[in-house]
Structure 1
Amino acid sequence: MITPIPQEAFNIAPAYAEVTMIVGASLLLLVDMYLSESKRSITYLLSLALLAVCAAISYGDFMSGATLYTFNGMYVSDPMSNLLKLFTYLALALTLIYSRQYTTDRGMMTGNLGGEFYVLALFAGLGQMIMISGSHFLTIYLGVELMSLSLYALVALRRDNHKATEAAMKYFVLGALASGFLLYGMSMLYGATGTLEISKVAAAVAAGTIKPTILVFGIVFLVAGLAFKLGAVPFHMWVPDVYEGSPTAVTLLLGGAPKIATFAVCIRLLVEGLLPLAVDWQQMLMVLAVLSLVIGNLTAIAQTNLKRMLAYSTIAQIGFVLLGLLSGVGTTVGNGGMEAAYSASMFYVVTYVLTTVGTFGLLMLLSRAGFDADNIADFKGLGKRSGWFALMMTIMMFSMAGVPPLVGFAAKFSVLNALLGTGQVWLTVVAVMFSLIGAYYYLRIVKTMWFDEPVDSAPLSAPADMKLVLSLNGVAILALGVLPGPLLAVCAAAMKVTLTT
């Protein structure tokens, strides 16, 4: 039973985090204009402080447990949105910490560029926050565009690098096409229902008075746009090229927090808005999930460039997220079915992002001025150069492969358990089979680190805060694998409140 929540036309309190972010990022841009290159660390510290303030606001909202609608139903603050925002801030903070030395070494913090990397990353984060809390088609679309435009600029930030420029062009053109799909799908649903508000769309669809044909066409375009943002097959063409061509710091921004925001949009549009038509979008997600698992895992095996390999790994991991989303169909809230399935998918996204952030952080740890650790061969003999960070990379790779007792295993198990609960045995078998195939290319990196002779004897030079946070990142992946219950319970509780209000 869905409990209606009263809407307020204009109550800015639920959106304090977004207001803080936009005001803070704008002021940071002004402050950075007057800073010399030697004082650019102030921009870095202020960016982390801004994320901390936003996190404190969202944490307070999350602990209140309230669901609040404002701006005439265009914005919602609920436990799911606030929890996902907290992980978004964490992913962004880790990205900035890991990227600091990398961006400095490559001149991305000097000259005319200044602190644009930090400001654009914060504005991309603002777009993700808006996506997460959007309860209206236009709000979600504005969030998507704010995030996308910031990321386009970040990919092209190194204008003297032809690979980055090429990646930016590919990302921009295909991203514009995907945004068109998303907007066209929304316009078709608006034409059919006469409203852009997600709750009212759900009510109109549930009434059963609308011809299903136009609704199905709208869903097709919506799912296509969302699949592009997630990087699911066959809308994955941009992922390997953009991951490889972008500076590693920007690749980390692309592969981290945006996945959390896009997952939230999937819940808002498909589950909250179009659940009566689940039989249609469930079949689409099933095809996307299977194709992503097959193409992602098989193609990753042939890669020698580590960033391309991780791109195809991302595609395969998204297949599991989609399996979690489709496994909630046909169940109800309150008996542990629907919230268990969607919270398993939520848990998977969050833990995958934390693992991905740590993996790319280790890539930047091995990089230095004039050298990018992009290839698998660059990790040869890392165990002899630094046994501790080789261990951290081993934890990341084993977690992505789903090896117990790491968090990747707990995430895969929770999704597969939800999938089995719906009777989809053949899908479960396919997922397990291709996970075993995918383990090969993760284990290849582990073998390269521990058993191959090093080709580079240069010491690993990085700021102390980066080394400390990387270590904590790796330990967290292990700890969440040993004790996944608390985080899973928090995800389930947040999802249950969201689905019933």
Structure 2
Amino acid sequence: MNVSTLTTVFAQGPVEAPAIDFAAVAPILIVFGGACLGVLVEAFFPRHTRWTWQVVLALLSIGTAGLAFGLYLREFTNPTTTLADRLAVDRPALFLWGTLIALALAAVLLIADRTIEPGGSFVAQAAVRAGSVQDHALNIAPGGTGPAGMRTEIFPLTLFALGGMMVFTAANDLLTMFIALEVLSLPLYLMCGLARRRRLLSQEAAVKYFLLGAFASAFFLYGLALLYGYAGSVKLTDIATATTAGDRSDTLLFVGLGLLVVGLMFKASVGPFHAWTPDVYQGAPTPVTAFMAACTKVAAFGAIVRVFHVAFQASSWEWRGVLWAIAIASMAIGAVLGLTQTDIKRMIAYSSIAHAGFLLVGALALTEEGRSATLFYLLAYGFTTLAVFGIISLVRDADGEATHLSQWAGLAKRSPVTAWVFTFLLLALAGIPLTSGFIGKFVVFTAAVQDGMAPLVVIALLMSAVAAFFYLRVVVLMFFSDPAPDGPTVTVPGVFTTVAITLGVLVTLLLGVYPAVALDWVGPGLAFAP
């Protein structure tokens, strides 16, 4: 910048800072503030005290953010924007923020529960505490670490990822969305590699996730640049205005949108952009997998709905067919390849790919009903998935978690309560009535039919039937097979894990028998901020 330019800038007077609605963004500020304090705890607190301090700080940060969110929600009337129109605070964003805060709280409880150690049982842990067995003999984590040997850095990383997710769902322009995407992604890459028990598998998953994520981010950024060249702005509303004008380069529009879609679909684990999902779900520590599977899906599809419904609705005739094909591919990949899996975490990973296809059906319904149905589905799927991984973390053998399907044979004879709870959750994922999964699919498919996508709904119903088979296969294995003599045991969950699983099960049941409690919130008037 030369002298004349500086003179011109200063001659215009002082630069006015943009107005900030601190009440609206308080939940985000609290989460990021807690994450920064967590970094200071890592730097200055003695190692043997960090776990307790980090757990308290993480739970306090999320709880305080939830309180600030509730107070603002009571006073909320009309959608608005803040931070120089970079963040949109509207009903879809608030619904997603509430969902993310609740899911993150349950995920942190799973991460923080130290009663489920690699030693596999309370007897082993008691032996260590009594001094009769050395902790390294059982590979039980020392004082500075937690379940599966995870280090205490996981808590500030979780808070940073949560803050990025909240910004991602409310971003009102593509550049803010890209920054939020990186803020939420980088901690997740690190969290995937924090397991010590199966270090090589965990680190392989982290590296694969990082490399593919970097490519996806590059696609997103290049698409953002092309769309800026098309509209002269990165704001979603400005892009929407440019698409309605019809006097600009369609090449820039559709190539930019295509690259943008690649980045978004990768983060949502939509097939065929799903290559990272099975390996990461299997290799990451199970509590981390629970956090990723639930919260990342909510954040990614929250952003997808905002981008499609705000910026590109006017041009939907041109791009909708391509998204139809992606939705069909995702449902087919998830349902068919899920049948071939022998590891239960990989099976749930392919299940998530199939569910991403179902969610995309709802997102493609560019109506108020489509938005409402997709947000409800995200809420239902998130809590069910968290509880599923909570149950998976309980089934253990001498080597840690027993994730091979053959090890789940006869589980009902070893722990009937665990088997019945897991069965209920699997039936919810399959979309059986009286569960949230059934209501979620019903409202999504109804919205899609009303928006003229009946053929896509027929395909989705067929893929749902196929996917139901691998859920029922696990149920049959648990109840109608004999357990192996040296089979795994079911660890008695600690208080934190019990609370997280109970919360997931209760929400799954409540939304199945009384869905109005959530549908009323995402019902009529679910408008985006201008």
Deviation at 1:113, TM superposition (A): 7.0
Matches within 5 A, 1:59-70: 59-63=70-74, 64-70=76-82
Matches within 5 A, 1:191-202: 191-202=229-240
Deviation at 1:465, TM superposition (A): 3.2
The answer to whether the aligner puts 1:396 opposite 2:434 as a matched pair is no
- Alpha-carbon distance in structure 2 between the residues aligned to 1:427 and 1:108: 52
Q: 1:9 aligns with which of 18, 34, 44?
A: 18
| Residue 315 (structure 2) aligns with | 277
The one-letter code matched in structure 2 to 1:47 is: A
- Alpha-carbon distance in structure 1 between the residues aligned to 2:397 and 2:39: 27
Q: 2:456 aligns with which of 427, 431, 437?
A: 427
- Alpha-carbon distance in structure 1 between the residues aligned to 2:426 and 2:472: 7
- Alpha-carbon distance in structure 1 between the residues aligned to 2:191 and 2:529: 38
SS at match of 1:76: strand
- Alpha-carbon distance in structure 1 between the residues aligned to 2:219 and 2:50: 44
| Residue 109 (structure 2) aligns with | 97
Instruction: Output one character per residue of 1:78-135: Cα deviation in whole Å (capped at 9) or x when no partner.
Output: 1211111111111111111122336864639726974201111111101101101211
SS at match of 2:393: helix
- Alpha-carbon distance in structure 1 between the residues aligned to 2:488 and 2:332: 38
Matches within 5 A, 1:249-264: 249-264=287-302
Matches within 5 A, 1:488-499: 488-493=519-524, 496-499=525-528
CA 1:463–1:368: 2 relative to 1, 3 Å? farther
Contact 1:395 1:477 in 2 (8 A): no
Give the RMSD, CA atoms, in angstroms. 2.2
TM-score between both structures, scaled by the size of structure 1: 0.91
Instruction: Output one character per residue of 1:29-86: Cα deviation in whole Å (capped at 9) or x when no partner.
Output: 3234414436623321221111011111122233313322122111121121111111
SS at match of 2:483: coil
CA 1:304–1:73: 2 relative to 1, 3 Å? same
Contact 1:29 1:115 in 2 (8 A): no
Contact 1:301 1:440 in 2 (8 A): yes
Deviation at 1:327, TM superposition (A): 2.0
The one-letter code matched in structure 2 to 1:421 is: Q
The answer to whether the aligner puts 1:156 opposite 2:188 as a matched pair is no
Percent of aligned pairs sharing the same letter: 30
The one-letter code matched in structure 2 to 1:260 is: V
Deviation at 1:377, TM superposition (A): 2.3
Instruction: Output one character per residue of 1:222-264: Cα deviation in whole Å (capped at 9) or x when no partner.
Output: 1111111111111111111111122222222221101111112
Instruction: Output one character per residue of 1:425-452: Cα deviation in whole Å (capped at 9) or x when no partner.
Output: 2212111111111111000111122222
Instruction: Output one character per residue of 1:390-448: Cα deviation in whole Å (capped at 9) or x when no partner.
Output: 22111110000011111101111111111221232221211111111111100011112
The answer to whether the aligner puts 1:169 opposite 2:207 as a matched pair is yes
| Residue 371 (structure 1) aligns with | 400
CA 1:423–1:270: 2 relative to 1, 3 Å? closer
Aligned length, in residue pairs:
484
| Residue 45 (structure 2) aligns with | 34
Instruction: Output one character per residue of 1:162-191: Cα deviation in whole Å (capped at 9) or x when no partner.
Output: 111111111111100100111111110001
Q: 2:510 aligns with which of 467, 479, 485?
A: 479
Q: 2:489 aligns with which of 458, 474, 479?
A: 458
SS at match of 2:401: coil
| Residue 110 (structure 1) aligns with | 144
The one-letter code matched in structure 2 to 1:56 is: L
The answer to whether the aligner puts 1:73 opposite 2:110 as a matched pair is no
CA 1:422–1:70: 2 relative to 1, 3 Å? closer
- Alpha-carbon distance in structure 2 between the residues aligned to 1:395 and 1:209: 54
- Alpha-carbon distance in structure 2 between the residues aligned to 1:109 and 1:194: 54
| Residue 82 (structure 1) aligns with | 94
Contact 1:206 1:276 in 2 (8 A): yes
Contact 1:65 1:79 in 2 (8 A): no
Contact 1:62 1:78 in 2 (8 A): no
| Residue 381 (structure 2) aligns with | 352
- Alpha-carbon distance in structure 2 between the residues aligned to 1:498 and 1:109: 49
The answer to whether the aligner puts 1:203 opposite 2:215 as a matched pair is no
CA 1:108–1:489: 2 relative to 1, 3 Å? farther
Instruction: Output one character per residue of 1:124-148: Cα deviation in whole Å (capped at 9) or x when no partner.
Output: 1011011012112111111100111
Q: 2:498 aligns with which of 467, 470, 473?
A: 467
- Stretch moving more, 304-313 or 202-211: 202-211
The one-letter code matched in structure 2 to 1:107 is: A
- Alpha-carbon distance in structure 2 between the residues aligned to 1:162 and 1:464: 30
Instruction: Output one character per residue of 1:262-307: Cα deviation in whole Å (capped at 9) or x when no partner.
Output: 1121122221112111123322221111011111101100100011
CA 1:447–1:302: 2 relative to 1, 3 Å? same
The answer to whether the aligner puts 1:241 opposite 2:279 as a matched pair is yes
The one-letter code matched in structure 2 to 1:467 is: T
Contact 2:407 2:488 in 1 (8 A): no
- Alpha-carbon distance in structure 2 between the residues aligned to 1:120 and 1:109: 19
- Alpha-carbon distance in structure 1 between the residues aligned to 2:204 and 2:232: 41
- Stretch moving more, 142-151 or 104-113: 104-113
| Residue 168 (structure 2) aligns with | 131
- Alpha-carbon distance in structure 1 between the residues aligned to 2:478 and 2:222: 48
- Alpha-carbon distance in structure 2 between the residues aligned to 1:114 and 1:147: 19
The one-letter code matched in structure 2 to 1:285 is: L
**Can you give the 5+ residue segments of structure 1 that lack an aligned partner in the other structure?**
1-7, 329-337
**Can you give the 5+ residue segments of structure 2 that lack an aligned partner in the other structure?**
1-16, 119-139
